[in-house]
Amino acid sequence: MKILRFLLFPFAILYDLIISIRNFLFDVNILRSISFDIPVIAVGNLSVGGTGKSPQIEYLIRLLKNEHKVAVLSRGYKRKTKGFQLVNSTHSAEDVGDEPLQFFKKFDNVTVAVDANRTNGIQQLLKLVDPPEIILLDDAFQHRKVKAGFYILLTKYDDLYVNDFILPAGHLRESRKGAKRANIVVVTKCPQNLSDTEQNKIIKKLNLKSNQKVFFTAIDYDKKLKGSGEISIENLKNKEIVLVTGIANPTPLLNYLSEENINFTHLKFPDHHNFTSEDISRIHTVFNGIESEEKILITTEKDYVRLKDKVANISYIAIKSIFLTDEKLFVFEIQEFIKK
User: How high does pLDDT run on average in the chain?
Assistant: 94
Phi first, then psi, for residue 39 (nearest 5°) are -65, 125
- Residue 1 scores a pLDDT above 70: no
**Is 332 buried (19+), middle (13-18) or exposed (0-12) by CB count in 10 A?**
exposed
- For residue 131, name the pLDDT band (cuts at 50, 70, 90): very high
pLDDT tier at 46, thresholds 50, 70, 90: very high
Question: Can you give the pLDDT at residue 337?
Answer: 97
The mean per-residue pLDDT over the stretch 236-256 comes to 92
Encoded amino acid at 327, one letter: E
Tell me which residue of 284, 338, 274 sits closest to 311, measured CA to CA.
Answer: 284
Residues in contact with 291: Cβ distance below 8 Å, sequence separation at least 6, in sequence order:
none
| Percent of the chain whose pLDDT exceeds 90 | 86
Residue-by-residue DSSP string for 84-110: -EE--TT--HHHH-HHHHHHHHH-TT-
Rounded Cα distance between 23 and 17, Å, is 10
Cross-strand bridge partners of residue 266: 243
What's the rounded mean pLDDT across residues 99-126? 96
Residue 107's CB is within 10 A of a number of other CB atoms, namely 16
The residue among 50, 52, 76, 72 whose CA lies nearest residue 63 is 72
Lowest mean pLDDT segment, chosen from 63-67, 238-242, 334-338:
238-242
CB-based contact 53:155 (threshold 8 Å): no
Task: Determine what percent of the chain is predicted with pLDDT higher than 70.
Answer: 99
Q: Which stretches of 195-275 are DSSP H helices?
A: 196-206, 251-259
Question: Does the bond joining 132 to the residue before it have cis omega, within 30 degrees of 0?
Answer: no
| pLDDT at site 214 | 98
d(CA 109, CA 128): 14
Helix axes 53-64, 98-106, angle to 10 degrees: 30
Confidence of residue 280 (pLDDT cuts 50, 70, 90): very high
Residue 112, H or E segment: strand 111-114
Question: Whole-prediction pTM value?
Answer: 0.93
For residue 4, pLDDT over 90 is answered with no
3-state secondary structure 7-56: HHHHHHHHHHHHHHHHHHHHHCCCCCCECCCCCEEEEEECECCCCCHHHH
Q: Please report which confidence band the pLDDT of residue 195 belongs to, taking 50, 70 and 90 as the band edges.
A: very high
Q: CA–CA separation, 73 vs 115, rounded Å?
A: 7
Q: For the segment 251-275, what is each residue's pLDDT rounded down to a tens digit?
A: 889 999 999 999 999 999 998 898 9
CB contact set of 136 (below 8 Å; sequence gap of 6+): 41, 43, 57, 60, 61, 70, 71, 72, 73
What tens digit of pLDDT does each residue of 205-222 get?
A: 999 999 999 999 999 999
Write phi, then psi, for 299 (nearest 5 degrees).
Answer: -150, -175
